[in-house]
Amino acid sequence: MGAAVATEPREMRVVYAETLVRLAENSADIVILEADLMKASATGIFQKRFPERAFNIGVAEANMVGIAAGLSASGKIPFAASFTCFASRRAYDQFFISCNYAGLNVKLVGTDPGIAAEYNGGTHMCFEDLGLMRNVPGLVVFEPCDPVSLAALVERAAAHRGCTYLRLHRKPIRPIYPDGEAFELGRGKVLRDGGDVTLVATGAIMVPEALAAAERLASDGVSAAVIDMHTVKPIDRDLVLEYARKTRGFVSCENHQIVNGLGSAMAEVLCEGCPRPLRRVGIRDEFGEVGTLDYLKARYRLTAGVIADEAHAVLKG
Amino acid sequence: MIGEGELRELKRKAREVRVLTLDALGHLGVGHVGGALSVVEVLTILYYRHMRVDPSAPRMAGRDKLVLSKGHAGPALYSVLADKGFFPREWLRTLNQGGTSLPSHCDMRRTPGIDMTTGSLGQGVSASIGLALGNRLNGDAGTVFLIIGDGESNEGQVWEGAMCAAHYRLGNLIGFMDYNHMQIDGYTRDIMDIEAPEDKWAAFGWFAQRVDGHDFRALDAAIERAKAETSRPSMIVMDTVKGKGAYFAEDNVGNHNMKVDEAMAAEAIRRLMGEAL
Ligand SMILES: Cc1ncc(C[n+]2csc(CCOP(=O)(O)OP(=O)(O)O)c2C)c(N)n1
């Protein structure tokens, strides 16, 4: 990482939309679909630039994802977005059958994942989508943590031949990576090296918490590595196993159920490849509820403090 | 027919509901202003004239039930329920605060008087059918009322329910469509045109009517006609104004989920109180 990291937070949704516009300028096949949440996704700029390639289907997520399948079968590369809860839970069968089973090329996007749903509350608070999507054969599932990785990974997703699922934080996020940093789907990033314990995080809420936890651990005399596991499927097996050999154990950090998300994926890799203690920070078999981000972080124990405590627990054995 | 005295009283109640709702939203700073304010009259006439409910026994058998399928209008319903005495008025200002009993979308596990959890659009239609079928099985004479949005009606589930409720001849189900002509991204005619909804419901086998959703007498007459239909479900399409009664929200396509500060809320309340009933 040679270049300087920008300090100003950028709205992730704007980065998403601008990236799509850029891609569409170079490829006539890029199309977008929205389900009455175009304002929320900020893709109005795409619609303005390419009105004939933007489809706002109305409040009809299953219909939207089915239409995306048809567009894909016509050679288009559709990006279809809604809130995470509706993109995943509501349109799962359409995504599963019409898009994935049919072997097509649909890029599904779920916005406001997990506690980012904040004031929309429990009905909109999706802690299950990584699990649902991880179960779809061959699907690429990813959750970028900052504007730089978001732009790069959306480009990768567009170039990938096959369906992808993007878990998209919409709000302003401070860059972690320098401009121009390269990313590959399926390849995690080591944000900080360490020799005692490895914190593996995904997404714009948990990666910064993991970095803050590593700082706390450092002041406790613990050397913690931090990995940004932006792609949850396929998980970067080699990287996990490398740190299984380098450090004494892991903490997984996800804004998602601990069941069948990042922590589960890591447990699978570790048990099969190099057993090491793993403690999972995430939602523990609960539904969502309404509140501010700070309230929800504390309520569901998704904080740097909890991550640091879990890291100590890993090291105690 | 609603007499002059009752009409005045209903209008006063509707104003009160708007005031309480604006106060709660203004206290929080943001919320679903538009879709909450467009259903105030229908909520008012249901809870103050038509529905048999008991605030001291919110789960009373035989009561009439409401499924607010456009669950984001919860704050308006909370104002009604608080005024009726289902819970203390002080709760209203806890809207969406961590640990609240009043979340942005209706939640039957948290809020006394809420008959069905909603928020994922379209689902309330099916749930209302289940409640109506349940009443039939239980020999329960209660009526099930349903309120859906026009944008919500883009969902296929709405029309699966439309076919099904007619098939089962659910005369104990009375629906309202809040035709405020807007969804989130704009006017319904631009996003997903649904004209003419009353014809669609009629084609599905419902007794369909279309009325001014801010006119108590028109609403009342439509509800009476719907009640008289015992062998098929009813849909009352209400022409309404999204954001009705809030100067900063009416005619503003950005009024779906908008910032409202305390000064805006106070000014809107001042203007409402200044209007003749
Ligand atoms: C299944 C589902 N998809 C999307 C949303 C997000 N959403 C909430 S309200 C809304 C627009 C609804 O429009 P309408 O039914 O007309 O409501 P109103 O304008 O009366 O508020 C959308 C898309 C949701 N709550 N549920």
Predicted confidence (pLDDT) per residue in B224-250, tens digit: 999 999 999 999 999 999 999 999 999
CB contact under 8 A, A119 and B31: yes
Indicate whether A152 and A194 sit together in one domain: no
A5 within some domain = no
Nearest to B96 among A37, A38, A290 (CB): A290
Q: Which residue, A173, A198, A226, sits at the end of a domain?
A: A173
A205 domain-assigned: yes
State which amino acid sits at residue A260.
N
Which CATH number covers residue A203? 3.40.50.920
- Which spans in B4-57 are helix H? 4-28, 33-37, 40-45
Chain-chain contact of A290 with B152 (C-beta, under 8 angstroms) = no
Report domain B4-273's class.
Answer: alpha beta
Question: Tokens representing B229?
Answer: 């239909």
- Pairs of CB atoms within 8 A across A/B: 88
Find the CB nearest A90 among B28, B71, B120.
Answer: B120
- Ligand 1: atom nearest CA of A120 is 25
- State the Cα–Cα distance between residues A214 and A230, nearest whole angstrom: 18
Contact A36 B191 (CB under 8 A): yes
- Which residues of chain A neighbour B119 with C-beta distances below 8 Å? 120-124
Say yes or no: CB of residue B70 within 6 Å of ligand 1: yes
Determine if ligand 1 sits within 6 Å of the CB of residue B72.
yes
Is A206 contained in some domain? yes
Q: Based on the fold, state whether residues A148 and A257 are members of the same structural domain.
A: no
* Collapsed DSSP state (helix, strand, coil) of residue A234: coil
Of A4-13, A201-210, B105-114, the range with the lowest mean pLDDT is A4-13
Q: Are residues A288 and A207 in the same domain?
A: yes
Report residue B241 as tokens: 């104004």
A45 touches chain B (CB under 8 A): no
Provide, rounded to the nearest whole percent, the portion of chain A with pLDDT above 90: 98
* Ligand 1 proximity of A37 Cβ (cutoff 6 Å): yes
Residues A80 and A104 grouped into a single domain:
yes
In a domain, A181, yes or no: no
Are A126 and A230 found together in one domain?
A: no
Structural domain of A222: 189-316
Ligand 1, residues B193, B256, B258: which to mutate, most atoms within 8 A of Cβ? Answer: B256
pLDDT of residue B223: 98
Q: What is the pLDDT of residues A165-210, one digit of tens each?
A: 999 999 999 999 999 999 999 999 999 999 999 999 999 999 999 9
A136 part of a folded domain: yes
Residue B176 has phi, psi (to 5 degrees) of -130, 135
* Nearest atom within ligand 1 for CA of residue B73: 21
**Candidate of B72, B106, B155 to mutate for ligand 1, largest count of ligand atoms within 8 Å of Cβ:** B72
Instruction: Label residue A2 by pLDDT band (50, 70, 90).
Output: low
Give me chain B's average pLDDT, please: 98
Is A4 within the bounds of a domain?
A: no
**CATH (domain of A104):** 3.40.50.970
The rounded percent of chain A whose pLDDT value lies above 70 is 99
Report helix, strand or coil for A27. coil
Pair (A229, A160) in one structural domain: no
Which residues are CB-neighbours of B133 under 8 A, at least 6 positions away?
A: B168, B170
Residues A61 and A143 in one domain: yes
Q: Report the number of distinct structural domains present in chain A.
A: 2
Asked if the structure places residue A25 within a domain, the reply is: yes
Give the pLDDT confidence of A247-277 residue by residue, as tens digits.
999 999 999 999 999 999 999 999 999 999 9
Residues A237 and A283 in one domain: yes
Beta carbons of A122 and B118 less than 8 Å apart: no
The residue with tokens 């995080």 is A201
DSSP structure class, residue B182? B
- Per-domain boundaries in chain B: 4-273
On whether residue A245 sits in a domain, the answer given is yes
